[in-house]
Structure 1
Amino acid sequence: MRRDRVLDWLLEADQPSIRYLTQTRLLRKSETDPDVRDAKARIPTTGWAAEILARRDPGGWWVRDGHPMYPKYVSTNWNLLALSDLGATCAIPEVRKSCEHWMGKSPLKGGGVGGMSKGKGHHCYTGNMARALIRFGYGDDRRVRKALDWLVRTAHPKGGWTCWSFGDGPSPARTLDSWEGLSAFVAYPRSKWTRSMKDCVEKGAEFYLDRELHRQGARYEPWYRFHWPVHYYYDLLVGLDILTALGYGDDPRLGYALTHLRKKQRSDGRWNLDAVRPEVRPSDPGKGPIPLAFETARRPSKMITLRALTVLSRVG
C-alpha cells in the first residue's frame, strides 16, 4: 500500500475523527477548509467519538456518578481522555457538561488533581486532565492554569515527574512512565508559556532525550508496544509524539526510537496496534481491568498509523 493509499484509508468516512486529524496534521489543511469543517462536524455523530458519547449518562458521567477514575478504564476520566484524542471539543454541549462534571468531581489541592491519593495532587492524573481540557477548549480556564502551575512547581529539579509522589513539593524521583506532565504543555499554546513553564519543559525533554526515550533500568517490554487509548501508559510512540511536537525532531537522541518506529511499519505502509494494554502481552489479554478498546490488537490501526506518520512528518 503506497503512501497515497494509506492516506485514502485514513480519510475514509467511517471515522471522521481520523479523517479530521489526518487533514489537519498530515495534509496541513486549515480549520476553515470545507472538508475539515465537514469531518469535524461529524465527529459527535459517527465513529468512535459517537460510540463514547452514546454510552454517556445524561448527567455527564460514564458508568457511575462517583470519582471520575473509577471503575478503572471505563468511567468518566478514561472516556474523556479518549474523546480528547479524537478531535472533540467543548463546542459539543455533551462534552462541555461532562468536563464540568469531571472537574467538579475531581479532588483538588493546590492545583493538582487527586486520584488514588485522597485529594493530594497526582502527576499522571493532573497532566492527563490538563492536556484533555486544553484540547477541549479550556486552555484559558483558571482551573487548568492552576494545574499547569502545579505541574511546574512539583517537577523534579532536574526535570520530569514520577507517578508515585503525592503533594505540592518537588518530585523526589522521575520516571519515563510519568509523561503526562509534558503532554499537557504540548497542548498548551507556546505563546502562553511562562518562563518557568519553558524551563520546566526543557528540563523534562532533556530527561527523555538523555535516556533516548527508553533507557531507564532493565528493559521493560511494554514500552516497546504501541497502544491506544494511552490512558496513562507509556510507549516509545508516546515519547516520540511528545518530543517531536515540542520541536526536537532533529535531535539525534531520538534515533533509537525512530528506528524502532520504522521497523514496526508494515509492508503496506501501515502500523499495527500492538496491544490494548501494553503491560499485558497480546497473547494473554485476560488479566486485570479491561480498558476501552476501539481497534483490534495485532491488526492495522488507524490511530497508530496516524500518530506514526505525524511523528515522521516532524522529523528532519
Structure 2
Amino acid sequence: MSWKDQLRADSEAWLLENDSPGVRYLALRDLAGLAGEDAELKSARRRAHKEGPIAEVLSHIEKAGYFVKAGPGYSPKYRSTVWSIVLLAQLGASADEDKRIAQACKYLMDHALTEGGQFTAVSSASPSGTADCLQGNLCWSLMELGYDHPRLRSAYEWMARTVTGDGIAPMKEKDAPVRYYAGKCGPLFACGSNNKLPCAWGGCKVMMAFGKWNVNRRTPLIRKAIRQGAEFFLKADPATADYPNGYAEKPSGNWWKFGFPVFYVSDILQIAEALTGLGYGNDKRLANTINLIREKQDKNGRWQLDYDYKDKTWVDFGARKKPNKWVTLRALRVLKHTV
C-alpha cells in the first residue's frame, strides 16, 4: 500500500507547483524524498530562502541577530526572536543557507539558554522563566534549522529530566541545585499555567523536540522521557484530546482546528506529528487520530486552514476555511509516516 492511497486526490502535485517556493521545497524534501545533494532539491532550497516567507521574516532581523527587541526574545508575540526562529524552522529555513539564521540562533542561545539547560522567557535570564512549550519549541526549532550546538545537550537533558522527575527537586526546595519552578512545576508536562496539571500543548512541543534528537544520542534518561511522554498521549484517545484542562471544563476547541504556523497552541495534527516522528505511526492507539486527519481532507485531498495568526506575525499564510498548502503539507507528512 502506498501512503498516497489514503488521499482522495493527488495533493502532492499541488504542493509541488511553483507558486509557493517554500512549500515546494519541503514537499520535495519530505514527500518526494529527494536526497540532500539532489540538484533539484538544492535549487528549490535556494529559491525558498530568496523568495516568499523565509525571505520576508529575515528582512526584519536586526544586525545583532535579534528580532524587534533585544534580550531573551519571548515578547512581543509573535514577531520577537523566539517566535521568528520557530516560524523560520517551520518554513524549512536552514542555518547553512543563510548566515543570518545562524546569527539569530546564536543570539537566542546567548541570551535565552541558561547554564542549567533551561530556555527562559524572562529578561533577567533566570531559569524560572522556563516552560515546556518554550523549551520544546526552541529545541525542535534549533535542530530543524541545523544549528546543532553542543549546548543543546544540556537543554535536552533538562527537558528529559522535567518529564521523568529524575534528579530534580520539588519547586519549594529553593536551595536545591536542580528543581522545578512556578511555570515548569512538576513532571510529565505539569505547568503552572494549566493549574499545575500536565499540559498537552507543552507536551506536544517536548515530544516534537525529542523526535529531532538523533537516536544514537538519546541517553537512558531521554529514552525514558520519550516512553513516558508517549504513554501520556496514548493512554487517552488523542482524537478526543482528553487531557487535563487546567481551569477549563472541557478540552479547547482549538485541538480540532488545524493551523499554520503552530506556536504554543497545539492541534491534534501536532500530536500525530510528534508521535509519528518518534516511531508510533502504526500504534493502534493512534488509529482514530489518523482517521480523523484523513477525514478532514476535501475531495481534492487538501486540508483547510482553521487556525492562524493573521496580522500577528510576519507573514499571513492564507484565508481561513480555505484549502491551504502549509496545512496540507503537515497532514501529508503524518500520513506518509503511517505506512
Identity %: 31
1:147 corresponds to 2:155: yes
What does 1:165-180 correspond to in 2, within 5 Å? 165-166=182-183, 170=187, 172=190, 173-178=197-202, 179-180=204-205
Q: In the alignment, which residue of structure 2 is the partner of 1:216? A: 243
What does 1:228-247 correspond to in 2, within 5 Å? 228-247=260-279
Which secondary structure state, in structure 2, belongs to the residue aligned with residue 272 of structure 1? coil
Does structure 1 conserve the Cα–Cα contact (< 8 Å) formed by 2:208 and 2:273? no
1:209–1:170: structure 2 CA closer, same or farther, 3 Å change rule?
Answer: closer
Give deviations 1:182-238, integer Å, cap 9, x for gaps.
111111111211121111111101110112221125232111101111111111000
In 2, Cα distance between the equivalents of 1:187 and 1:226?
A: 22
1:117–1:204: structure 2 CA closer, same or farther, 3 Å change rule?
Answer: farther
In 2, Cα distance between the equivalents of 1:230 and 1:98?
A: 20
In 2, Cα distance between the equivalents of 1:84 and 1:130?
A: 11
**Cα distance, 1:48 vs. partner?**
1.0
Alignment-mate amino acid for residue 95 of structure 1: I
Which secondary structure state, in structure 2, belongs to the residue aligned with residue 108 of structure 1? coil
| Contiguous gaps of at least 5 residues in structure 2 | 1-6, 167-179, 191-196, 245-249
Q: In the alignment, which residue of structure 1 is the partner of 2:89? A: 84
Which secondary structure state, in structure 2, belongs to the residue aligned with residue 300 of structure 1? coil
**Cα distance, 1:16 vs. partner?**
2.4
**Cα distance, 1:168 vs. partner?**
8.6
In 2, Cα distance between the equivalents of 1:45 and 1:261?
A: 32
Deviating above 3 A after TM superposition, structure 1's stretches of 4 or more consecutive aligned residues are: 1-4, 163-173
What does 1:1-316 correspond to in 2, within 5 Å? 3-4=9-10, 6-91=11-96, 92-106=98-112, 108-116=114-122, 119=126, 120=128, 121-139=130-148, 141-157=149-165, 165-166=182-183, 170=187, 172=190, 173-178=197-202, 179-213=204-238, 214-217=241-244, 218-276=250-308, 290-292=312-314, 293-316=316-339
In 1, Cα distance between the equivalents of 2:321 and 2:296?
A: 11
Higher relative contact order, chain-length normalized (CA < 8 Å, sep 6+): 2
In 1, Cα distance between the equivalents of 2:18 and 2:181?
A: 42
Alignment-mate amino acid for residue 176 of structure 1: A
Alignment-mate amino acid for residue 308 of structure 2: V
Does structure 2 conserve the Cα–Cα contact (< 8 Å) formed by 1:14 and 1:47? no
**Cα distance, 1:90 vs. partner?**
1.2
| Contiguous gaps of at least 5 residues in structure 1 | 278-284
Which secondary structure state, in structure 1, belongs to the residue aligned with residue 26 of structure 2? helix
Which secondary structure state, in structure 2, belongs to the residue aligned with residue 177 of structure 1? helix
Which secondary structure state, in structure 2, belongs to the residue aligned with residue 234 of structure 1? coil
Alignment-mate amino acid for residue 145 of structure 2: F
What RMSD over aligned residues (CA atoms) do the two structures have, in Å? 2.4
Which secondary structure state, in structure 1, belongs to the residue aligned with residue 151 of structure 2? helix
TM-score w.r.t. length of structure 2 = 0.82
1:75–1:42: structure 2 CA closer, same or farther, 3 Å change rule?
Answer: same
Alignment-mate amino acid for residue 315 of structure 1: T
Alignment-mate amino acid for residue 255 of structure 2: W
